[in-house]
Structure 1
């Protein structure tokens, strides 16, 4: 039997092999870069950053901010492939630290956000007036003077939670959208505050006149009426005092902390009810020197010749007296040293025990406990304590 002839397949040409290898290489490169781009896209998202337990405070505050749609890398990584590559390598390092629990807490930025990151979206040359309308903020002039964006806008995205000590491990589990919204609702940590402007202007010896930063005269319409000047401003509610503070706090030559209270976020974390300030109008006018400048002057009603004998009947509302005066003599009288007890020691009629505001025993004698309300100098004109009697003997 004749052997069948086997058709010989010619060996592939060199050009064919090259095309084959080139095709495989191109496919590999496409797949590699596709996965790389997907990886970069994934690791650049807010959700990826929030997957780390310790980044939840930053994530939930960002979602409640005006920059909620901006990815983290837009501000935290400089543009360019090299910077992205460095960020990815740093991410691997941080991932290792997370797994080994060797990262530093609380999380805090090692460097400030550069102006270039802000200027990718915001044009400093055209930002002359802020969104509030009345405030004049020439951003171009501030930039010329070397003022960096974060000096005024440090809390825009995260509400300064690191400085507020809200990023400790013990609180990670408490963070959610509700807490993030609560934290970011406290605008004094979010928006530029007048305190920042005033401190900077004073340090740089720049004018602090209202018209330098405000288009209007800043005097509310209700302040311009004669009725308001004559006394209506004293009828404001205590809850309205914080509104007054926005302007009048800068008019006081002495600093005070009447309105200091725990912030909303702290009360939320401790499951406490939030409440408003308990500062009274009387306490305020005795503390703010802007008020004292007027209230420290002797009123016209006090200048009549019969005032000394008739002042008890001049006013039906005796509480008005305590805007300036105290009921008893104190060493730190805020407005005037003339107090009720200066001329009016306690009445010693037969019925004085019944009228005494505090129950006392029938055989109660004068002692140091009386000085909680009474004035020692006045009392000792007639009274002596048992210890005084023994010392005299």
Structure 2
């Protein structure tokens, strides 16, 4: 007795020649057609086999999806080591990778799995030098709202006043502000490149996951608010919320270099010089813009804008230190800056006022760690900060009120520069000698230097 029952007696037996010519699939099909489907036993057998087939098919498919959804699967590829290590050291290490990186829904899951086949191709043929989240695969608000409520008016720390619901309803992606919550903005910092992937372990990740990169960057808020005040909606461009792809940037640089060869060399050289001038102009304009925002923040510059840039607009608990409220604080804070420069930088460092994130060296970061180095009073360091820090230069670029009229100040400023401390304050804005063109020292706020007038020298050493 065959599994499917007896053959129909009327069916002609196959000859040896026909059996040789017929393939295995066709023979199987012929046997299937020969089954007596009027027999209820055969129909039950078909139902049983179909049920087992579905269990194997769907169960196996679910097993494959479940396995590829696990963080351990992501860590199986060496190029994902930085991402996996930072994930294990983050506050999100209790949820799976796909809960953030795949939109909710079975259709989105299947679609993502089909698109991810290309990742296997890259893994086998050539891993990218740096893993960067693309615009198409950026974490969506749908993912975040699976766990987080949009009805929040203050941050978890209670300091920032942020209307999350209002931002989301405007279509602003969560990652515009919270890009570093899991991976500490490693792509923007340039510390997940091919040559340093081996440096990433669970222990090293704890050193590299600095708090300032996990939390929203104030410069991001400032940049976006400033653009809104100018009538823009920067978040409409998906590229605004994700870091630039380094390979595309490198490709553009190579194209620029190629254009500089051959007959176009002279022309390219002129263009390069023009680009340098343009870059300097843009940098100067950017500094001026940043300083304008800083002056708005501290209430020294008032503008009719949609979003106020003053600190108290967003910060709930921030208070101006009592020492800052002294009437003569603007002219006499130099000594305090030298003694407590580290405290000053908690609010006034440039990194808090700009959106751009500088590139970092992972080896240096691992050696130093994220421990704070104890500051010792340093006049030179304070002077450099006063010259380069945009917050300081916003005021230091203006002539101090203490200098009065030029003709009076020229004959009366000697009494203000007698002691070493007084001279140190002068050298914040002025150089002693004429600065050299190729000097690496921070540029002074003014081009007036001591020897410009005192060409015959001084009675004592003016530097001391």
Q: TM-score scaled to structure 1, two decimals? A: 0.67
Cα deviation, residue 217, structure 1: 5.3
- Distance in 1, matches of 2:415 and 2:187, equals 61
- Distance in 2, matches of 1:17 and 1:62, equals 54
How big is each residue's C-alpha offset from its partner over 1:45-64, in whole Å with a ceiling of 9 and x where there is no partner? Answer: 11101101111121112222
Partner of 2:108: 83
- Equivalent of 2:314 in 213, 216, 228: 213
CA contact (8 A) 2:434 2:452 kept: yes
- Equivalent of 1:67 in 68, 77, 92: 92
- Distance in 2, matches of 1:127 and 1:204, equals 22
Cα deviation, residue 102, structure 1: 4.1
Cα deviation, residue 44, structure 1: 0.3
- Distance in 1, matches of 2:123 and 2:336, equals 58
CA contact (8 A) 1:295 1:335 kept: no
- Distance in 2, matches of 1:181 and 1:143, equals 31
- Distance in 2, matches of 1:185 and 1:204, equals 29
Deviates most, 90-99 or 331-340:
331-340
Cα deviation, residue 130, structure 1: 0.8
Change (3 A) 1:236 1:261: farther
- Distance in 2, matches of 1:249 and 1:18, equals 73
Change (3 A) 1:201 1:308: closer
2:396 is the alignment partner of 1:292: yes
- Distance in 2, matches of 1:273 and 1:137, equals 31
Partner of 1:390: none
How big is each residue's C-alpha offset from its partner over 1:308-339, in whole Å with a ceiling of 9 and x where there is no partner? Answer: 77667677865455445543455975258363
Structure ID, larger Rg = 1
2:236 is the alignment partner of 1:236: no
Deviates most, 69-78 or 82-91:
82-91
2:179 is the alignment partner of 1:154: yes
CA contact (8 A) 2:208 2:365 kept: no
Q: Aligned-pair RMSD on alpha carbons?
A: 4.4
CA contact (8 A) 2:71 2:96 kept: yes
Unmatched 5+ residue regions in structure 1? 1-9, 349-354, 358-372, 374-393
Which of 1 and 2 has higher RCO (CA within 8 Å, sep 6+)? Answer: 2
- Structure 1 or 2: larger helix share? 2
- Equivalent of 2:450 in 335, 339, 342: 339
Change (3 A) 1:222 1:32: farther
Change (3 A) 1:333 1:180: closer
Cα deviation, residue 120, structure 1: 1.5
Unmatched 5+ residue regions in structure 2? 7-35, 230-306, 437-442
Partner of 2:219: 195
Change (3 A) 1:346 1:56: same
CA contact (8 A) 2:67 2:73 kept: yes
How many residue pairs get aligned? The number is 331
Partner of 1:381: none
- Distance in 2, matches of 1:308 and 1:162, equals 51
